[in-house]
Every structure is written in C-alpha cells, then in structure tokens.
Amino acid sequence: MDAAPTAPETIKEAERQIARVPLVLHRRNFSWLTERISGVVEQPAPRWWWVAFTITGSAATFGLFCIGYLISTGVGTWGNNIPVGWAWGITNFVFWIGIGHAGTLISAILFLLRQKWRTSINRSAEAMTLFAVICAAIFPGIHVGRFWMAWYLAPIPSNWAIWQNFRSALMWDVFAVSTYFTVSVLFWYTGLIPDLATLRDRATTRVRKLLFGVFACGWRGSNRNWRHYEMAYLLLAGLSTPLVLSVHSVVSFDFATTILPTWHTTIFPPYFVAGAIFGGFAMVLTLLLPCRAMFKLHDVITAQHIDKMAKIILLTGSFVGYAYTMEFFIAWYSGSSYERFGSWNRVFGPYWWYWWFGMLFCNVLSPQLFWFRWCRRNVLVVFFVAMCVNAGMWFERFIIIVGGLHRDFLPSSWRMFHPTWVDIWTYIGTLGIFTSLFLLFVRFLPMIAMSEVKTAVPEADPHYTTPPGIQSVSPGGKERPR
Amino acid sequence: MSERSQTVPTPEGEYFESTRFAGLSFLLGSVALVALVLCALGAVVNPHQFSYSWLFAFAFFFTLCAGCFFWTIVHHATDAEWTVVVRRQLENIAALLAVLALLFVPILLLRHHLYAWMDIPPGHEAALDFKRAYLDFNFFLIRAIVFLGYFIVASQLLRRFSVRQDRDGNPQFTIWMRRVSFASLPMFALCLTFGAFDWLMSLNYHWFSTMFGVYIFAGAAGSSMSLLVLVITALRQAGYLKDVVTLEHYHIMGKWMLAFCIFWAYIGFGQYMLIWYANIPEETQFFIARNTQSWWALSMLLVVGRFFGPFAILLLRSIKKHPHRLCIVAGWIVFMQMLDMYLIVLPALHGTGVHVSIWDLLSLIAIGATLGFVYLRLVPRTSLFPVRDPRLIESLKLVN
C-alpha cells in the first residue's frame, strides 16, 4: 500500500499533474489584456451579436406585451387554479433568484477565500446576477394582479395604516431580495470603476469620454484611490457573503414555514442555497462559454477556470442530491402518511417525468460526469451538463411547488396545473430580458475585470523578473498558437 | 505584509521528543486507566445514567476527530496550500477515530438503556413499526461497523500516504491522497449524517429533522478547527513549529473558526425557526425538552456562547493574529461544542431538568485522557509537518 511507483517518468507525470497552471495563458501581458478586453467594447458589434440581440429582444418585447396583457386583462389570463395557485409565477421567481446567486458567490465568497481564478469570470457573473434578480422581481410585482398596488410590499410608515404582515415569509423575501440587489449593484459598480477609467482613457469620441468619465468617478489610479478601493471592496465582500446565504434561505422559508407535506422540511435553507449556487454556476457557464469562443478569450477564461466551475457544479449538485436523499429518507422515517404520500407522488404521480428527468437526471446524475477530468475539460460536455442543470433547476422548483399543491388534502380538490400561452410567453419573455441585458452588458462594459485579472498574472508580483529567453506577448506581437 | 522573504528554504523535519513529555504521557495513561476502570464500575452501578454520559462524551470527541478528518480531505480535494504545515496534526487527530471505534463498544453493550426502540416489540407502537426496517439492531450494528470502518480506513490511509511522502517526496502520493479525498467527500457526508441519525437522533425515535446531519457537521467542523488551534499552539509553546506555522496561518484558522461559527448559527437557527414556526408536535418535542425546566438556561448559554460571543470577538483581526487570544476563543468554542452535545444527549434522559452526574465528568475524562495518551504516542512517530509535501514552500510563504 505504501509503495508508490518511483520510475522517473511516473514521477515526472505526477509532478506535471500537480503543477500550478497560470491563470492567464501564453504569457499575455498587461497591455494584451487591456487591448483584448477593451476591444470587445470598442470594436463594432459583430454580426452574430445583432442576430442574437434581435432574437432575444423580440422575446423580451413579447414577454413585456404578455405582462401588459396580464395587467390590463387580469390574473385570469394565467393558468392559476385552486389548489395550485400561481405556481408558474413562483417557480419562475425562485428559478431566477437562484440564478442570481453565483455572481455574489464568485465575487464575495471566492474573494474572501483568496481564489484568484475568480477574476476572469466575476464581472460577467455579477452582471448576470443583477439581470437575474431583475427578472425575478418581475414576478412578485405582477402576480398581485393589481400591479399598481405592488408598493404595499415596500416598508411603509405605520401612520399610513397599511399593516403589512411581518410574520409572513413572503414579506421577508421582499427585504432579502431588495437588500441583495442593492449590495450586488454596489459591489458590481465598485469593481467596475478602475475599468471604466481605462475605457475613459482609451475613448476616441467625446460622448464615450464623457460617459465613462462620469461613471469612473474621477478615478486616477493613484495610490490613495487603490487603497480606498480595496478597502471598499473588502467590506462589500464581507457584507455580501451573508447575503448569499440569506436570500435563498429566506426564499426557502416561503415554503418551509408552512406545514404542507414536502414543503415543510428543515434542510430547505442550505438545500436551496446549494441549489441556487448550482443553477447559478450552470448559467455562468451557459453564457460564458459562447462569449469565450466568440470574443476569443481562451487565454483569460481558460480550461482551468471551466474545470473549477465544473467542480463547484459537481459539489453543489451532489449536495442537492444529498438533500433529496434526506427529504425522502425523513419523509419515510417520520411515519407521516402525508409526507410519505407527497414523496411517492413526486416520483410516481402525474408529474413523474419532471422528477425523473428534471431532478434525478438533470440535477443529480448529469453533474456526476464531472468526476472525470476529461468531461470537465471538454467544452461540449460542460455545456451539455450546464444546460441540463438550467433545465433541471426549473423543473425542481416546479415539482416542489406544483407537486406540493396539486394533490390537496381532500382528493375531491385534486387538480392539475396547465399553463396558458400567457404564462409560457411571460417566462420566455424573462429569458429574453435576461439575455438581452447580458448582450447589452457585453457590448457596453468590459465583461472581464481587467484590473483584477492583471493581479493574477506573474508580472503583478513586485519581485517578478522575466525568465531569460522568454518574452511576454504584447498586442502587436506574434500570437502563439493555442 | 508577509512575514517571510520570497525565498524560503525547505526546513528540515521537526520531531517531537517523547522523552521530554514522558511524564505527561504517563499521567494521561494513568488517568485514562483509572477513569476507564471507574467507568466500568459505573456501567455496573448506574448503567442507565452512565450510558447517556458515555454517549455524550463519545459524541463530543467523535465530532472533534471527524471534524479534523473533514479538514484533511478538504485540504486534498481543494489542493489547498495553507493547510500543509498544520496537516500532520489534523491527520494525527483523525487517526484517533480508530480508538474511538473501540470506545463505541460500551454504547453497543448498553444499547438497551439508550435506545428505547430496541426494547419495544413489533406491533406495540404503530409509529415505530413504520420505521422498523431502519430501526433494527442488526442493521444498526452493520451501519455502525460501516461508518466507523470507513472513518478508520480513510483516515489511516491518508496518514500513511502522507507519512510515506515524508521519506521520498514522491508527488504520486499527493495524487493518491487527492483521489482518496474525492471519494471520501460523499462517504463522509453520508457516514456522519446517518451516524448522527443512529446514535443521537434515534434517542427519541419519534423525532426527526432533515437538517440534523448538517447541524452535527457544522458543529464538528468549527470545533475541530478550534481544537487544531489549541494543538498547534501547544506544540509551539513546547518549542516546535515556531518557524513553520506563522501568524498568517493563525489568521486563516481564525477566519475558518469565524466562518463555521456563523455557519453553525445559520444551520441551528434554520432548524429551530422552521420547527418553531410550523409548530407540529412531533417536531417541537425535541426543542420543548431543551427549552423548558433548567435546560432553558443551558440552551440560552449555547446560543450566546456558541455564536454571539465568538462571532463578535472573531471579527477582530487582532484576535485572529494573536495565538494566545485565539486560543482562549478556541478553547471556549470546544467547550461550547461539549455543551452542544450535552444538550443533544442528556435531555433525552433527564426530562425534568439538568441533572449533572459524576459519570458525565468521568466519561469525559476517560475518553479524553485515552485519546490524549494515544495522541502523544502517535506524534513522535513522524515529523510534525509534512516535510516533503510539494506545496510546503507555498504554505511557508503564505500571505493573507
């Protein structure tokens, strides 16, 4: 057992396997990074961008039309019924809130853990977070039917005599999500300031110079600027970290505080948080893999980054599988006939394929491919699993919500849920809004945090000296083959 | 700023001189022997009380050792650097799980005093008949063998590979340890969870919580990091690891203590709040037993002492970078972990209020002294840190 092979080639291979790989490949220097990342914003939009934006913009527009139709006509345009209620809206709300988790995890928790690999992906993940939360916020706003009364959700002075129910988990949700959104915006914007200044300094038109100049808040890159910036960033990371846990925990309270079978289970808070990070990372990969290919960012978003994200998906997906196991085991162990029926109904009831395909295959089994290195290193496999997880997490929310409601305590009240075309197109519309906003972000702001990536290259070390015979690659220099 | 220059030479291994501590070793061995004999007496004189006392002490030390095992596998699975210099002590403490497996035997022998479900014949209680397939002694025994067997095999394997690497520095061992750790992660989650269900949750077979396994894990991870701080500081106090473990390492250990202090509170609050809010009798009974009578005061102490106090203190960097101050917090957290286990186990016996027994103390001393004695026998056998680990230099150069 203790004897390891000592042949030189075996040792060499082992050393190769454990060697640290640079986070930016091919010795790209500071200048190359600035040129390549700013170039995405400064060059004319490629044709594929216009095609994609037309499609997503059309979906978003039709989604907004559906919302207008809902508000003008009434909630009867949705497939809501008794006992299921507005299941579609809640499913979409939870789905989008979940997507919005990876950004803050990457920007805050990975920052506190000193994980430098986050620098290549944090900016776009944070932007994605904001857009996902915007999509999520649409649903509680419009489900009330009388959309113009949605301000009742906001904190209101008591002398207005509008008595909100602070004992309701739905009310806690409003506070949790709005706090999360506010801090995420601040965090994202703070990180953007040095890069906005870079774009300002490179701007060739007055309008760009003015706009980037205003938003760069007079950044000069001085020692004092950096000192304040880094302290602000650290404090925001500290503030954001509990928010990553709190938001989806509070969302899970919407369900777990009830006494409804399959909803009331104590593992819901960490299970929802893990599921959210799981779904969020899948969406980051879904968006970044095409961007990486289209904008030729392989040296910045490397196979190593994808590998690490795949490992996080494997970890969180396995925790989700653990939570499913606990739910089933305790439902059985509790001896409660309602809990047992609820679990059985989830697997063999009318929505059985949602469970088998969505929860089991997409969420638990497909990420297990990431145990194998070649799967984590194969972009097509990674993209396939990411798409499975995107779908699986939506199905999971649907089966939790509808599955818990459609079989009421009285069998005479049992009823299936059927979405209407307005339901379906509103959801597709939010997908359109999300992707449109992301495409606009990619076009108008640096999608990779230039200033942060530069801290991850060897030249950032003040003691760094270029090894003899090696030159870093400047923008005008000859590109090395990949 | 870093305490170290950019070029740190690889230090030679440091070895614990057992002769210097022969007195302590002898003392621990003697105390362990006497306490074990007294405990054997307790098992005869007052088996009902003793069985709960022993389970409490076992659960406390088991969570500490399993927590150290967790940090070892996380170190390998994440390819971490900072842990290298403290990893050997994690491995040494995790290796004590083999001793704990032996100390589990009294629980098996006294099982009828602990687990009421073992004495109720089928057909007498419908609520129990529902779960007979799981709550069955033979199955319980098989599960205990599998859980403890897994912990022993995995912890011994990791320690053996690590020690072997000290000799030749072969990087292949790093890869092997990584593989064992990857496979260990899901196994650890399942073994700890179902171990917690079997040994602790089934003390009251009516009660259930899906969060219980995560709750036990949260306490284990945080308190074992605190234990590590205590052990490392004790070694430094004795003159070892002075140039190896720096304030930067303390800072990180302090940060993990803070992180798991918050995580424990998050999990504990989630479990408590959801049960309190839903107010279903079969769930609330667990907390009613612990929130009434004199148990209430201990429960409040746990909430304040396990979360609010350490949280506020550990936010300060000056505490995290000061070994002795950090040790005070670490010792307190370990004490709170003991209280947590006490509050899980003993209210199942004393429903009318706190009833401290001499057997509680003797069980703690017996298991603690035994583990301490074995630990002192283990430490001198190897270098105090993995001297030829490929990531050692990076760990020595650590900057937060």
Give me Rg for the CA atoms of chain A.
24
Contact B390 A18 (CB under 8 A): yes
Which residues of chain B have a CB within 8 Å of the CB of A326? Answer: 193, 210, 213
Contact B157 A1 (CB under 8 A): yes
Contact A264 B274 (CB under 8 A): yes
Which residues of chain B have a CB within 8 Å of the CB of A18? Answer: 79, 171, 174-175, 390
Of the candidate ranges A147-156, B50-59, B359-368, the one whose mean pLDDT is the lowest: A147-156
Residue A477 has pLDDT above 70, yes or no: no
Across chain B, mean pLDDT equals 94
Greater pLDDT, A482 or B177? B177
Three-state DSSP string of A411-473: HHHCCCCCCCHHHHHHHHHHHHHHHHHHHHHHHHCCCCCHHHHHHHCHHHCCCCCCCCCCCCE
Q: Which of B126, B171, B213 sits opposite A11 (nearest CB)?
A: B171
Contact B160 A371 (CB under 8 A): no
| Residue A361 per-residue DSSP state | I
A247 contacts A97 by C-beta, under 8 angstroms: yes
The per-residue pLDDT for range B94-139, each reduced to its tens digit, is 999 999 999 999 999 999 999 999 999 988 998 899 899 999 999 9
Contact B189 A322 (CB under 8 A): yes
Contact A17 B280 (CB under 8 A): no
Stretch 222-261 of chain B: residues touching chain A, C-beta under 8 Å: 255
Contact B278 A318 (CB under 8 A): no
Mean pLDDT of B386-400: 91
Quote the minimal CA–CA distance from A118 to chain B in Å: 15
In this complex, is the C-beta atom of B168 within 8 Å of any C-beta atom belonging to chain A?
yes
Contact B267 A371 (CB under 8 A): no
Contact B209 A266 (CB under 8 A): yes
Quote the minimal CA–CA distance from B128 to chain A in Å: 8
| C-alpha–C-alpha distance, residues A171 and A184, integer Å | 20
Quote the minimal CA–CA distance from B46 to chain A in Å: 32
Q: Give the three-class secondary structure for A337.
A: helix
The tokens for B81 are 């650097």
Q: Which of B189, B210, B280 sits opposite A259 (nearest CB)?
A: B280
Quote the minimal CA–CA distance from B222 to chain A in Å: 16
Which residues of chain A have a CB within 8 Å of the CB of B277? Answer: 257
pLDDT of residue A480: 47
Mean pLDDT of A62-76: 93
Quote the minimal CA–CA distance from A463 to chain B in Å: 8
Mean pLDDT of A65-94: 92
In this complex, is the C-beta atom of B400 within 8 Å of any C-beta atom belonging to chain A?
yes
Quote the minimal CA–CA distance from B130 to chain A in Å: 6
Of the candidate ranges A19-28, A158-167, A181-190, the one whose mean pLDDT is the lowest: A158-167
* pLDDT bucket at B198, cuts 50 / 70 / 90: very high
Residue of B nearest to A265 (CA): B210
In this complex, is the C-beta atom of B266 within 8 Å of any C-beta atom belonging to chain A?
yes
In this complex, is the C-beta atom of B318 within 8 Å of any C-beta atom belonging to chain A?
no
pLDDT of residue B37: 97
Contact B208 A332 (CB under 8 A): no
Mean pLDDT of B339-347: 97
Residue of A nearest to B128 (CA): A335
* pLDDT bucket at A166, cuts 50 / 70 / 90: confident
* % of chain A beyond a pLDDT of 90: 74
Contact B211 A11 (CB under 8 A): no
A399 contacts A359 by C-beta, under 8 angstroms: yes
Residue of B nearest to A111 (CA): B400
Contact A114 B130 (CB under 8 A): no
The tokens for A115 are 């994980």
Interface A-B: count of C-beta contacts within 8 A: 105
* % of chain B beyond a pLDDT of 90: 92
Contact A264 B211 (CB under 8 A): no
Across chain A, mean pLDDT equals 91
pLDDT of residue A472: 62
Q: Which of B175, B209, B273 sits opposite A14 (nearest CB)?
A: B175
What sign does the CA torsion over A322, A324, A329, A334 have? positive
Greater pLDDT, A169 or B294? B294
Q: Which of A267, A270, A463 sits opposite B6 (nearest CB)?
A: A463
Quote the minimal CA–CA distance from B134 to chain A in Å: 8
pLDDT of residue A7: 82
Task: Answer whether the bond into residue A83 is a cis peptide, omega within 30°.
Answer: yes
Residue B1 has pLDDT above 50, yes or no: no
pLDDT of residue B5: 44
| C-alpha–C-alpha distance, residues A129 and A115, integer Å | 19
A271 contacts A214 by C-beta, under 8 angstroms: no
| C-alpha–C-alpha distance, residues B2 and B398, integer Å | 7
Quote the minimal CA–CA distance from B169 to chain A in Å: 10
Domain boundaries defined on chain B:
2-396
Mean pLDDT of A152-160: 82
Which residues of chain A have a CB within 8 Å of the CB of B190? Answer: 322
| C-alpha–C-alpha distance, residues B307 and B305, integer Å | 6
* pLDDT bucket at A215, cuts 50 / 70 / 90: very high
pLDDT of residue B161: 96
Q: Give the three-class secondary structure for A103.
A: helix
Q: For residue B255, how many C-alpha atoms fall within 13 Å in the half-sphere facing its CB?
A: 14
pLDDT of residue A233: 94
**Burial tier of B3 (Cβ tally within 10 Å: 0-12, 13-18, 19+):** exposed
Residue of A nearest to B174 (CA): A18
pLDDT of residue B230: 98
A81 contacts A415 by C-beta, under 8 angstroms: yes
Mean pLDDT of A81-103: 90
pLDDT of residue B330: 98
The per-residue pLDDT for range A8-42, each reduced to its tens digit, is 888 888 888 888 888 898 888 889 999 999 999 99
The per-residue pLDDT for range B280-328, each reduced to its tens digit, is 999 999 999 999 999 999 999 999 999 999 999 999 999 999 999 999 9
Contact B400 A266 (CB under 8 A): no
The tokens for B381 are 């056998």
Residues 6+ positions from A5 with CB-CB distance below 8 Å: A11, B172
**Chain A contacts to B (CB-CB under 8 A):** 1-2, 4-6, 10-11, 14-15, 17-18, 112, 114, 242, 245, 249, 253, 256-259, 264-270, 315, 318, 322-323, 326-327, 330, 332-336, 371, 463
Report the residue of B162, B172, B284 to disrupt the A interface, i.e. the one with the largest count of A CBs within 10 Å.
Answer: B172
* pLDDT bucket at A481, cuts 50 / 70 / 90: very low
Question: In sequence order, what DSSP letters do the residues of B356-383 get, joined into one string?
Answer: --HHHHHHHHHHHHHHHHHHHHHGGGSB
Residue B6 has pLDDT above 60, yes or no: no
Q: Which of A253, A327, A463 sits opposite B210 (nearest CB)?
A: A327
Stretch 321-360 of chain B: residues touching chain A, C-beta under 8 Å: none
| pTM score, whole prediction | 0.94
| C-alpha–C-alpha distance, residues B364 and A247, integer Å | 40
Residue B31 has pLDDT above 50, yes or no: yes
In this complex, is the C-beta atom of B315 within 8 Å of any C-beta atom belonging to chain A?
no
Contact A266 B79 (CB under 8 A): no
Of the candidate ranges A458-462, B230-234, B268-272, the one whose mean pLDDT is the lowest: A458-462
Which residues of chain B have a CB within 8 Å of the CB of A4? Answer: 164, 168, 170, 172-173, 176
The per-residue pLDDT for range B206-258, each reduced to its tens digit, is 999 999 999 999 999 999 999 999 999 999 999 999 989 999 999 999 999 99
Residues composing chain B? 400
A436 contacts A135 by C-beta, under 8 angstroms: no
B148 contacts B105 by C-beta, under 8 angstroms: no
Q: In the block, which residue shows the tokens 């150290």?
A: B68
Quote the minimal CA–CA distance from B164 to chain A in Å: 7
* pLDDT bucket at A228, cuts 50 / 70 / 90: very high
pLDDT of residue A104: 83
pLDDT of residue A103: 80
Quote the minimal CA–CA distance from A4 to chain B in Å: 7
